[in-house]
Structure formats: C-alpha cells, structure tokens
Chains A and B, each alone.
Chain A
C-alpha cells in the first residue's frame, strides 16, 4: 500500500487566495483526520470523518476552513480566504482501528 497520500507537498500563496489541500487515505480505512502543526500550538486536530461523514469539526478554527469527504478515497481541506496565520504543516491521517497513519503533510506558507 502506498500509505496516505497528500498533495501538494508544498504550497506558497498570497493572503486572500483560496487554498485546497488534498488527501487520499489508505484503502479500507474508515476514519480520516485533518491536523495542523505549528511550532507555537503543536499538533491540533481540525476535523475527523467516519465513513465519509464529519463527526467532529470543533477544531476548525474559523468559517474560512471547510473540509469535505465526497467518497472513501478522497478528502479536501479548503481555506478561503487564506491568511498568514494559516501558515503551518497540514497532515491528513487515516485509521481502521486505533493507530493512525499519517501522510507526509502539506507545508503551507501564506504571504
């Protein structure tokens, strides 16, 4: 298995632009998680899905953030409009049991 796939790996954008991050979970996994990691705040859970249904989005910082999971093999995290404080590494992870498998992350820089 290729593991969790994220794209793009790096994204540099200007403030106000829309940013879309993509994730392909491991086949057969029924949970998908989106995290954000910064030096100041560590690893934060943004939202997680079970069988494509959002279960807990209480970690989504603002209405500018939205996430979708249209099917079992694809999820997106969208930031619109982006702000410099959104600069971070965004991780997607999937699981079938308790252990989570993380993707390599998307390093986002908003100028």
Chain B
C-alpha cells in the first residue's frame, strides 16, 4: 500500500498564484521528502524535512510537517509556468532506508 498519499491528484492554477499540495502517511517516519517530475524526466529532489522539524523553506518552496496528523504540505509561492510538473512526497516507512513514494499531484500552471 502507498505510504504517502498526495492530495489533490491534480491542480490547475494561474501563473502568479500559490499552489498547495498535501501529503498524508500512515507510519512513523524520520524524514519526509518532496520531489518534482517534469514530463518524460526523472524525479528531482526538492526538499527534505526531518520529523523534529515543523517547517522548512527553500526559495519559493515552503514545506510543513505535522507528525501528530501524519501529514505534510508543500506550498509553491508565485507559481510560474515552469513549475508545471508532478509532485511526489516520499517517506521512510517505519524508519527504513528506502523511501516510499505517493501517487503524486499533477500541477498545471497556466500562463
């Protein structure tokens, strides 16, 4: 079964707007990561947040983690057409070394 589940499955916004994607997971974790995948490409690591962190920033990205709710969110501010991609969360299921990926959110940023 999927460890991470992203929500929504698809999101369409206008350029300049903010995009928020959510991820829920089932087991205890040490780390949660977010990745981006452009069409026809491999995944690219965006950001990692540890279980003892609540919020992390990287450029226009803001990630939050609520371990009590077993959920995380990825916020992309001032979106650009180049942000159009699928976004995946990945969790280290039961503190393992391998990360389990969710089904992803497809983000479309319209110019």
A48 cross-chain contacts in B, Cβ below 8 A? 97-98
Q: Mark A7-22, 1 if CB is under 8 A from B, else 0.
A: 0000000000000000
Pair B33/A104 contact, Cβ less than 8 Å: no
Q: List 24 A-B contacts (CB under 8 A).
A: A31-B97, A35-B101, A42-B2, A42-B104, A43-B88, A43-B101, A43-B104, A45-B98, A48-B97, A48-B98, A91-B42, A91-B43, A93-B42, A98-B99, A99-B33, A100-B33, A100-B35, A100-B43, A100-B99, A102-B42, A102-B43, A103-B42, A104-B42, A105-B42
Pair A33/B41 contact, Cβ less than 8 Å: no
Pair B33/A98 contact, Cβ less than 8 Å: yes
Distance A111 CA – B104 CA, assembled complex (angstroms): 28
Using CB atoms and an 8 Å cutoff, list the residues of chain A in contact with chain B: 4, 31, 33, 35, 42-43, 45, 48, 50, 55-56, 91, 93, 98-105
Which of B35, B99, B102 lies at the interface centre, i.e. has the most chain A CB atoms within 10 A of its CB? B99
Distance A28 CA – B77 CA, assembled complex (angstroms): 34
Using CB atoms and an 8 Å cutoff, list the residues of chain B in contact with chain A: 2, 31, 33, 35, 41-45, 48, 88, 92, 97-104
10 new A-B contacts, CB < 8 A, other than A100-B45, A102-B42, A105-B41, are A4-B42, A31-B97, A42-B2, A42-B103, A48-B97, A48-B98, A55-B97, A98-B31, A100-B43, A102-B43
Residue ID in chain B nearest A33 by CB atoms: B98
Pair A99/B48 contact, Cβ less than 8 Å: yes
Residue ID in chain A nearest B99 by CB atoms: A100
Distance A18 CA – B84 CA, assembled complex (angstroms): 36
